[in-house]
């Protein structure tokens, strides 16, 4: 493989890796925690709502606790239990990449940026020296440095 | 910012553009030449004339030499058309790059 192709393949791979890192702002554990916190909140909210409906029934209102005007989350948590709702919501969690914590992610983004700068500068030097067409998405700050 | 390099890249883009226009014009002329030769070769070309023997073409009132010339020009034009298509891809990439560089330079 020509040197330019090797370089460009490496650049493309790093760009994909960086894009994935930029996209994934929470790692898998943080997603689990966030869902857990949300379900906990729903459970408390749902319990309050059901309690109020029961109280209303006790006070002579229509005995219809399911007539809860709310989001589905608190209702499901109240009816099925927080653990069941959490488990159902997290059934597909394996599909989420394990990811990095915030510090490691920031460090990795810096490392990738430095490596990309280096490779793209090498690429630009090669284009210049050998008269190779530049990529249409070559970074102007590298090409015109 | 390296202005000289920007100008050099713009000039290279213009060269690709000029070459593309030249090739596209050659293809246009080739197509016109083929059409002219075919129309001059006879009143109506039967289907499959390309594979017909010389004498059959003559018997149908066709001009085999013009037809042969038309085939040669069509093949040459086909090659040019492929080159033009490849150059069109290079030109599109080059245009995209120059637009990015111009935009960066303006900022």
Phi, psi of A66 (to 5 degrees): -80, -5
Residue A83: its pLDDT value, please?
A: 97
User: Using CA atoms, how far apart are residues B50 and A137, in angstroms rounded to an integer?
Assistant: 46
A116 pLDDT more than 80: yes
pLDDT band at A1 (very low <50, low <70, confident <90, very high): low
pLDDT digits (tens, 9 = 90+) for A47-62: 998 898 889 889 998 8
- Tell me, yes or no, if B7 comes closer than 8 A to chain A by beta carbon: no
Inter-chain residue contact A140 with B96, CB threshold 8 Å = no
- A41 pLDDT higher than 70: yes
Mean pLDDT along residues A12-28? 96
Nearest CA in chain A to B90: A133
Q: What percent of chain A has pLDDT over 90?
A: 84
Q: What pLDDT does B91 receive? A: 97
CA angle B38, B39, B40 (to 5 degrees): 90
CA-closest candidate to residue A12, choices A143, A137, A144: A137
User: How high is the pLDDT of residue B51?
Assistant: 85
Confidence at residue B55, expressed as pLDDT on a 0 to 100 scale: 87
Cα–Cα separations (whole angstroms), residue A13 to A10, A19, A101: 5, 10, 22
Partners of A136 on chain B (C-beta within 8 Å) are 92-94, 96-97, 100
User: What is the per-residue pLDDT for B44?
Assistant: 82
Per-residue CA distances from A33 to A94, A101, A118, B70, B79 (Å) = 14, 13, 37, 74, 62
Which of A71 and B74 is assigned the larger pLDDT?
Answer: B74
> B50: which residues sit within 8 A by CB, 6+ positions away?
B67, B71
Q: Which of B58, B61, B56 is nearest to B43 (CA)?
A: B61
pTM for the full predicted model:
0.73
Q: Which of residues 78-137 of A touch B (CB under 8 A)?
A: 133-137
**10-residue stretch averages of pLDDT, chain B, 107 residues long:** 92 97 98 94 84 85 91 96 97 97 93
ipTM value, please give it.
0.74
Confidence (pLDDT) at B60: 85
The verdict on a CB contact (< 8 Å) between A143 and B101 is yes
pLDDT at residue number A68? 62
Q: Return mean pLDDT, chain A.
A: 93
Which has the minimum average pLDDT: A24-33, A60-69, B28-37? A60-69
CB contact under 8 A, B97 and A136: yes
Q: Which of A125, A138, A141, A142 to mutate to test the interface with B (most CBs of B within 10 A)?
A: A138
Q: How far apart are CA B91 and CA A128, in angstroms?
A: 18
């Amino acid at each position: 493989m020509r040197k330019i192709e090797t370089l460009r393949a490496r650049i493309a791979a790093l760009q994909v890796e960086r894009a994935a890192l930029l996209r994934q702002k929470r790692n898998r554990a943080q997603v689990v925690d966030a869902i857990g916190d949300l379900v906990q909140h729903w459970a408390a909210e749902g319990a309050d709502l059901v309690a109020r409906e029961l109280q209303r029934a006790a006070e002579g209102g229509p005995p219809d606790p399911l007539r809860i005007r709310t989001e589905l989350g608190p209702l499901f948590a109240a009816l099925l239990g927080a653990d069941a709702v959490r488990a159902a919501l997290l059934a597909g969690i394996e599909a989420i990449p394990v990811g990095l914590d915030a510090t490691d992610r920031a460090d990795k983004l810096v490392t990738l940026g430095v490596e990309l700068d280096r490779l793209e500068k090498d690429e630009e030097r090669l284009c210049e020296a050998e008269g190779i067409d530049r990529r249409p998405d070559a970074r102007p700050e590298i090409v015109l440095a | 910012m390296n202005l000289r390099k920007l100008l050099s890249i713009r000039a290279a883009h213009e060269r690709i553009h000029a070459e593309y226009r030249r090739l596209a014009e050659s293809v246009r002329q080739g197509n016109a030449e083929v059409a002219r030769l075919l129309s001059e070769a006879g009143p109506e070309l039967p289907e499959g004339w390309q594979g017909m023997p010389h004498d059959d073409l003559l018997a149908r009132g066709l001009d085999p030499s013009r037809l042969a010339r038309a085939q040669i020009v069509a093949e040459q034009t086909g090659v040019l058309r492929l080159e033009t298509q490849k150059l069109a891809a290079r030109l599109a990439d080059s245009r995209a790059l120059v637009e990015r560089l111009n935009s960066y330079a303006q900022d």
